[in-house]
């Protein structure tokens, strides 16, 4: 029973990872056009239809907005677009 | 077994990213994308993902060694939590690696805005514990983990 639960959890995790990968792919493909409109912002992208649900320069504000719209944070891919002219060397 | 990585070029050069899910109590099991960075000794979760995953930093202990860390020009306290890090292989099967996970919390009381743009990182401890090889050829646009 426990093994079956673990398998179910792993299957769910794999499905969720796939949805997020698809969202990230969409984000990468549209990065240049999104950067023009959303530089220095964080975007919440619906993992099902790839629509931008919310955008904000502050992540706390983004979460507040998602909460006010009753959007489940598990259902959105959060992407960040760095400010123009700044690069991060880690 | 291969784990494909995603290549992105946010600053004009390709960088390898992976999607991971962290499983540990009181943390949201939402996938996050992390930069595969062999310049980092550890897997490290940065502020934007601390907020996203709702990691209870107040309940974590600071690391015994290397308690302050510099990343992307910012300074952080390094906390640690246990957990299992899942990735997906090329066949869609999840692979879990159990290890301590560094959680980087800014030392500054007021967080600089840019700090929340820094990616979380998959570092060398993950490659070591998981026994992964990293294959990265930006000129051929190939990136994957293998074991």
Question: Chain A interface, mutation test: which of B17, B29, B30, most A Cβ atoms within 10 Å?
Answer: B30
Please determine, for residue A7, whether its predicted confidence score (pLDDT) is greater than 70. no
Please state, in angstroms and as integers, the Cα–Cα distance from residue B38 to each residue in A6, B15, B27, following that order.
Answer: 31, 12, 25
Please determine, for residue A15, whether its predicted confidence score (pLDDT) is greater than 70. yes
Please determine, for residue A22, whether its predicted confidence score (pLDDT) is greater than 60. yes
Provide the pLDDT confidence category of residue A5 given band limits of 50, 70 and 90.
low
Q: What is the pLDDT of residues B63-122, one digit of tens each?
A: 999 999 999 889 999 999 999 999 999 999 999 999 999 999 999 998 888 888 899 999
Mean pLDDT of B121-144: 97
Angle subtended at Cα B133 by Cα B117 and Cα A25, rounded to the nearest 5 degrees:
40
Q: Rounded distance, CA B30 to CA B32, Å?
A: 6
Inspect the interface and report whether the beta carbons of B31 and A73 lie closer than 8 Å. no
Contacts of A74 in chain B (CB under 8 A): 28, 30
**A90 and chain B in contact, CB less than 8 A:** yes
Name the closest residue on chain B to residue A62, using Cα atoms: B52
**What pTM was computed for the model?**
0.89
Q: What is the pLDDT of residues A25-76, one digit of tens each?
A: 999 899 889 989 998 899 999 999 999 999 999 888 999 999 999 999 889 9
* Long-range pairs for B110-113: beta carbons < 8 A, 24 or more residues apart: B111/B47, B112/B74, B113/A40, B113/A57, B113/A58
Give the gap in angstroms from C-alpha A7 to the nearest C-alpha of chain B. Answer: 10
């Amino acid at each position: 029973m426990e093994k079956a639960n673990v398998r179910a959890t792993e299957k769910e995790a794999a499905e969720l990872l796939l949805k997020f990968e698809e969202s990230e792919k969409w984000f990468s493909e549209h990065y240049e056009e999104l950067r023009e409109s959303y530089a220095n912002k964080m975007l919440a992208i619906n993992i099902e239809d790839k629509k931008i649900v919310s955008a904000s320069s502050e992540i706390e504000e983004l979460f507040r907005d998602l909460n006010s719209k009753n959007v489940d944070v598990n259902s959105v891919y959060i992407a960040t677009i760095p400010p123009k002219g700044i690069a991060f060397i880690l | 077994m291969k784990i494909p990585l995603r290549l992105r070029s946010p600053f004009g050069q390709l960088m390898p990213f992976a999607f991971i899910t962290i499983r540990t109590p009181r943390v949201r099991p939402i996938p996050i994308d992390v930069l595969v960075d062999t310049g980092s000794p550890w897997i490290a979760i940065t502020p934007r993902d601390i907020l996203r995953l709702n990691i209870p930093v107040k309940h974590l202990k600071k690391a015994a060694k290397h308690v302050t860390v510099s990343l992307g020009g910012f300074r952080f306290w390094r906390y640690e939590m246990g957990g299992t890090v899942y990735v997906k292989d090329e066949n869609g099967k999840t692979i879990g690696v159990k290890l301590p996970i560094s959680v980087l919390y800014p030392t500054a009381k007021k967080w600089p805005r840019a700090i929340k743009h820094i990616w979380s990182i998959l570092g060398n401890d993950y490659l070591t514990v998981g026994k992964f090889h990293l294959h990265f050829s930006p000129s051929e646009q190939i990136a994957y983990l293998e074991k």
